[in-house]
A and B are shown apart, each in its own frame.
Chain A
Amino acid sequence: MGSLTFQELILELQSFWGENGCVILQPLDLEVGAGTFHPATFLKALGPENWNSAYVQPSRRPQDGRYGDNPNRLQHYYQFQVVMKPSPADFQERYLDSLRRLGLDPLEHDVRFVEDNWESPTLGAWGLGWEVWLNGMEVSQFTYFQQAGGLECLPVTGEITYGIERLAMYLQDVDSVYDLVWSKTPTGTITYGDVFHQNEVEMSTFNFQQADVDHLFAYFEFCEKEAERLVSLELPLPAYEFVMKASHTFNLLDARHAISVTERQRYILRVRTLARLTAQGYVASRAKVGFPLADKDLAEAALKALAEESAT
């Protein structure tokens, strides 16, 4: 089978979800641990406004680096993220169609939805759903958001996260991520290793050995203050950028083993507090303009609820 190259896989997913009414966005230009952090998921999941989007998100997990030695673990990898709000009734079927588009026939391959509930302590978010198994391998995460930034989600955002390296490794039948064919060009085949191996080696070295702990601690404090300050100035979007930066800084400190077990909880709580503040600020700012992307009835209900809340 002429299986898809890595870049073709991304392009197929983009066009598939584009055809399904999703706004195709480009990756966020900040370091984040998962596609969920992208404002197009986290912030858009808040409040009553509708939103459908899909995008690739480079995801950084400093702890997972293995200096390019492990065939399955990376400190920088890609997620393909789909969010649909409200979650459509045929969301699962659409997802299965996307697998068919990639050349995976569910009458040949065993596809299952296995219970898996998702929680992000730093974002104060949780949802219920599944991990999707392809012949026993987890290839996607499927979640119905119930809460984000400590706020109830209504309408509910349905989120699909594809682990695209895994899917590609399966489609291309390779055992090492570095052997993935990224693209076939007139001048030769470019592999994932060609593109990213050196990056994994150097970034692992940086994450585990060279990241400046004192500076990172100070920077975390700065991000925290900045996020609080910007929320108070009713600038939730820039504030949220500092939440993401604080979160990544925390991840780096964690990779440097600079945070003790008990301290760890406290740091997570600090980021969550910021995420909550920002979420509230974001909803307030959208309320000000009347939730323009929401169904009328839900916009009115949400505005009324906010008015009652501020009255008490």
Chain B
Amino acid sequence: MSAHTVLFELGTEELPAGEYESMAKILANAVESGLEQQGLAMGEVRMFATARRLSVLIDNVQERADDTEQEVLGPPVAAARADDGSWTPAAIGFAKKQGMSPDELQIIGTEKGDRLGIRKITEGVLCADVLPEVVTQAVNSIPVSKRMRWGRERHEFLRPVQWLVLLYGAEVIEVSLFGLTSDRVSRGHRFHGHSFVAIPNANVYEATLREQFVIASVDERKTLIKNQISRLVSQDERVIVDENLLSEVTGLVEWPVALRGSFDKSFLSVPRQALISSMREHQKYFHIESPDGDLVPSFITISNIESTRPESVVYGNEKVIRPRLADAAFFFDTDKETTLASKALRLERVLFQRDLGTLAQKQARISDVAQLLSEQLGADKATIQAAGGLIKADLVSDMVGEFPELQGIAGRHYALHDGESEAIANAIEQHYWPKFSGDRLPDSPEAAALALADRLDTLIGIFGIGQVPTGSKDPFALRRASLAVIRILLAFAPSASLEMILTTAKQSFPSDVLDEGVVDTVKAYLLDRLPAHYEDQGVSVDILRSVTAVGTESVGDIDCRGLAVAQFAGSDAANALAAANKRVANILTKVDEALPAIDQGLLSEPAEVALHRALTESQAALDAAVANNDYPKALSNLAKLREPVDAFFDNVLVNADDASVRLNRLGLLKELRGQFLKVADLAVLAR
């Protein structure tokens, strides 16, 4: 049976650089699984994408899917014929339903004996027949972040759709989408290529586009750009190729050509982050560093053409960046004319949130709370106090007004300029850390205390006025703040009481502003974020539930127990003990009576005597391990209970006729359960 290459290309006006690649991936996957569902075998699946096209190319797609055989079973042979050899009504009825006479039925052997039946052959579909529907469904499955219409029709996509190519080998397969009908006509590079380009055969797609100055493969363009960049810098210079920026510029070109431009080195006196921001955020330039990590007054831009005069492109780009850098330099100089302390006074006029007051008030609360928590974090109170009055001051600077991402960084520069200590400058900069999930934590306990207090203030404040984040809406980034709180506490104050910390934060607000129950609400919210924190560490939601079910005093304690249970979980012993715990928990919830202390005299069955002995022996070792927070050891101790527990359930009837024996046995189970609950509620982990 022959096979050919399938090509589908969705041609568009320029798609946003941040989205086109994932859209192409989804398209490719959807076409692949669509063909699979039709029973069509295929070879390699490749995805191509530029701002102007999303494509999928699949090798060796069967022309016709294999036939499939289906058995339809009727009555057992024994019930098919009457004593006289004639067909029974059951056989006749089945045959009639299949549209045939009973004589045409076959005998099919099954595990449960011979049956009457038929074997139906379903013919495999033709690839060419099913492609249009497969492609249509695949296109409809592409998520579109912001839909738009164009022209006079109601079709919707992320940007206007311009053309469709659908080929099976050399054959055009017709599909209609967005008011267009597929053809073999693609388009070349906007300026270097032809407006219209026929693809003679799907398997020459990539090569045909390449002749038209279109590198369709995302990875190939990325590699090209990286290589071109490295050719533009000298041996001792370095370019940090930021992956996000690389992805973005890769999405802005079909024929990448890297060019190097320069700017006046007098701009290097401006904080490097401001220069980098100007280059990266506004112009999508790569910056260059010298061997000692200083900025080089140059940039690399990725253009989309092999210019007839590359110097025109470089000159133009230099002309654009100059006023931007001049702005940054101007802001930096003007900001330095006043001290941070005087800027801090202006925070009184900046609202943080209507019910929660100004930024000046927020800053004061942060400083107070950080000082109150200083001992817990082992931080120097005086440094916190000194930095605390300045941490938000740069928010009213011109620099941060223009480059919001410089908050903290600008403050650091201005603090040093004002003659503040390195420790204070650090605390100002680092109280924003971690800025995002996975970002580094503050270096010093002083910065950590301020960072913690800042997040607590936002969490307690915003929850306290009832602005609970919902689904997609989290304008104050409370999720991120919670994860930061967890990480900072684990690193700097693992054994600090959550209750105490949250209460301290709450008490910094005026008494009538916040909901009474806010400490509990925020605590619950923090605990709900634990799974996100532990996602990469193999600690599942259930494990965290098993741990928080028995105690939520501090994140350090939860951490120790969670990691120990995670290590323990999955072993045979863990599975067995989880099941046993669940069983015990179920039994105990139905008990209304108070359970007396265990009376050894009432223990009669060997298995219950053995369990009691095992529990008694385990008690001391368990208590010692728990006291040392050595939960792995505690769990390995508990694992020894597995056999006596299993034996108990196999051999002992808990609900004995004698009420005192029954209560004694229940007491034994309660003791068992109590030992486990010192570490975690394993019942949660039972399947």
Binding site for B on A (CB under 8 A): 71-72, 86-89, 92, 96, 105-115, 117, 127-128, 130, 134-137, 144, 146, 153-156, 158, 170, 175, 261-262, 295, 298
Contacts and interface: CB of A to CB of B under 8 A. Distances in A.
A262 B351 contact: yes
Interface residues of B, number: 42
A155 B148 CA distance: 12
B160 A115 contact: no
Contacts of A115: 14-18
Contact of A146 (B149, B151, B305): B149
A160 to B, nearest CB: 13
B150 interface: yes
A4 to B, nearest CB: 17
Contacts of B210: none
B317 A154 contact: no
A149 B312 CA distance: 42
A137 B320 CA distance: 6
Given A115-B16, A156-B150, A135 B315 contact: yes
B81 interface: no
B151 A87 contact: yes
Contacts of B17: 114-115
B301 interface: yes
Given A106-B191, A115-B16, A146-B149, A262 B312 contact: no
Given A144-B149, A154-B152, A105 B320 contact: no
Instruction: Give the interface centre of A112, A153, A262 by most chain B CB atoms within 10 Å.
Output: A112
Contacts of A110: 303-305, 307, 313, 316
Contact of B320 (A87, A136, A158, A262): A136
A136 B151 contact: no
A2 B301 CA distance: 28
B473 interface: no
Contact of A107 (B152, B192, B316): B192
B152 A86 contact: yes
B682 interface: no
Given A117-B146, A136-B301, A108 B308 contact: yes
B151 A86 contact: yes
Contacts, number: 108
B323 interface: yes
A107 B303 CA distance: 11
Interface of B: 13-18, 51, 146, 148-152, 154, 158-160, 162, 190-192, 252-253, 283, 301, 303-305, 307-309, 312-313, 315-317, 319-321, 323, 351, 354
A136 B305 CA distance: 13
Contacts of B190: 96, 106, 111
A144 B16 CA distance: 14
9 contacts: A109-B312, A110-B316, A112-B304, A136-B301, A144-B149, A146-B149, A153-B149, A155-B151, A295-B152
A135 B317 contact: yes
A203 B146 CA distance: 40
Given A112-B252, A154-B154, A262-B354, A134 B305 contact: no
The 4 closest A-B pairs by CB, nearest first: A135-B316, A115-B16, A155-B152, A86-B152
B149 A156 contact: yes
A154 B149 contact: yes
Contacts of B14: 112-115, 130
Contacts of A130: 14
B351 A72 contact: no
A113 B150 CA distance: 17
Given A108-B307, A112-B252, 12 more contacts: A89-B160, A89-B162, A107-B191, A108-B309, A109-B313, A110-B303, A113-B13, A115-B14, A117-B146, A130-B14, A136-B283, A261-B351
Contacts of B309: 108
Contact of B307 (A86, A107, A154): A107
B186 to A, nearest CB: 16
B165 to A, nearest CB: 17
Contacts of B162: 89
A152 to B, nearest CB: 9
Nearest to A134: B316
B488 to A, nearest CB: 31
A128 B252 contact: no
Given A128-B148, A144-B149, A92 B316 contact: no
A72 B320 CA distance: 11
A209 B148 CA distance: 43
A161 B191 CA distance: 22
A23 B151 CA distance: 19
Nearest to A48: B152
Instruction: Give the interface centre of B15, B16, B150, B312 by most chain A CB atoms within 10 Å.
Output: B150
B380 to A, nearest CB: 36
A19 to B, nearest CB: 20
A176 to B, nearest CB: 10
Contacts of B313: 108-110, 135
